[in-house]
Structure 1
Amino acid sequence: MKKELFIVGAGSVGGHIAHNIVGYSDEYKVAGFFDDDLQKVGKTQFGIEVLGTVKDLLKLKNANVLIGIAFPKLKRKIIELLSVNQTLKFPTLIHPKAWISKGVSIGKGCIIYPGTTINYGSEINDFVCINMNCSLGHHTFVGRYSSFAPGVNTGGHSIVEEGTDIGIGASTLQGTCIGSNSIVGGQAMVISDVKAESTVVGIPAKLLNKSK
């Protein structure tokens, strides 16, 4: 019998999982969404009912919950809210068409989309979302809550600190560090370290402003 999986966020990431849960895992079935958009509550999204707001999850015990949201700041806020219910479980979903080398560690609550490759020695921390066709070089470190849009490439020994949001097709030169809570624009090429809470864009990536 499959376990029930509840998804936080009835948007694009949640919709992807709802449509493709069978492709990700034969262990779970999507039992419902939780979303703070009151116009969605009580209705169906992607053929699945929105059962309540995020706070309503606090009433459940031993539930399997997936954070179907890409935005790092919002993910952090939701996890902080849900942390008072210590019975909740946060499984990681890895699509079988992703390639994960031996010697890679992946935390709880992550989503790894199809077509992604993660090379040896890499460390993916909790609640990271890595979208389609990303390539992570050996010994890449990805901090909690970070999100990669499709087609992101990291060179070996890259460091992506907590809460970083990397746009479509962006790349990092090997050994570079992107500081926490930063934003990297789509198609940007990061060739030097990025300070925390910065927004960088372009080729090579240059500072646009502080991301706060």
Structure 2
Amino acid sequence: MNRAEEIVARLRSLGDEKNREGMARYGINTARACGVPVRVIRGLAMQVHRDHALAQDLWKTGLHEARILATVIADPARTADPLLEAWAADIDSWDLCDQFCQNLVWRTRYAWTKAEEWTDRPEEFVRRAAFVTQAVLARKEHDALPAQFLSFLPLIRRAAGDERRIVRKAVAWALKNVGQRSDDLRQAALALADELAASADKHAASVGKEAKRKIVKGK
């Protein structure tokens, strides 16, 4: 049994059917999940430490929790474009998408490129990943210039009418985080939120209203 197989066996032993059922109630795809909470996966990652080769082996197992662990222990500096593309294409659940972006994508040298490129992708979770990455960059990339975030606004406007709720929630999240970054960005984001909220497109309007409410509340 290799190390990836050992970790998968451990994850399965830590699985909990009630937690798995709870995941399903939140819209998480549990077809390949065993019900291990993310906090437990993060605790395991602290024991495993950064291991890029192991991360790739874990991803290949297909186990949901193993893939989340892979996003935590993968080395952003060694993560190449083909790996990001392959993993993004494999994603089959919104929570794995978000973990992928928050743990790995935004830390790589491709983050800004993917935050734009993936907005044109037809796959539900790849397009969601674009906007989750935008949201994470707006919250965590402290040295970025305002103009870099203003460049997200046309992408947000274009995607706000997506018929898929999973995508729209990420679009609203990105707009909210841009708006909460600084006073100048707040005004630009609120202007877009107002524009979308007044749209005849019900999907775009829902994004605008949600983003505006959260920008104003600061949550």
Query: Structure 2 length normalisation: TM-score?
Result: 0.29
Q: Say which one has the larger Rg.
A: 2
Higher helix proportion (structure 1 or 2)? 2
